[in-house]
Structure 1
Amino acid sequence: MGLINYLTALLLFLLPVTAQFQFFEHMFNGQQQQQASQPQNAGSDSAWYQQHYEAAHCDKYLCPHTLSCVHFAHHCPCAFPAVEDKVEFGDGSMVCVSKGGWAAGEAGRKVELARKGVL
Structure 2
Amino acid sequence: MLVSWIRTLGAWLLLASVAHAQFQFFENMFGAGGGGHQEYRQKSAQNVPSDSSRYQSNWEAARCDKYLCPGTLACVHFPHHCPCPHPDVEEKVELGEGSAVCVSRGGYQEGEAARKIELARKGLL
TM-score range (shorter-chain normalised) is 0.7 to 0.9
Partners in 2 of 1:51 and 1:63 — Cα distance? 17
Amino acid at match of 1:87: V
Matched, 1:113 2:111: no
1:32-80 CA distance string (max 9 Å, x none):
2441315434324231xx2232112132333233333333222222222
Structure 2 length normalisation: TM-score?
A: 0.71
Q: Tell me: higher relative CO, structure 1 or 2? Use CA pairs within 8 A at least 6 residues apart.
A: 1
Q: What is the aligned length?
A: 112
- Secondary structure of the 1:67 match is coil
- 1:1-119 to 2 correspondence within 5 Å? 6-34=1-29, 35-36=31-32, 37=36, 38-39=39-40, 40-41=43-44, 42-47=46-51, 50-56=52-58, 57-59=62-64, 60-119=66-125
Match in the other structure for 1:3: none
RMSD: 2.3
**Percent identity between the aligned chains?**
44
Consecutive unaligned residues in structure 2, runs of 5 or more: none
Consecutive unaligned residues in structure 1, runs of 5 or more: 1-5
Structure 1 length normalisation: TM-score?
A: 0.74
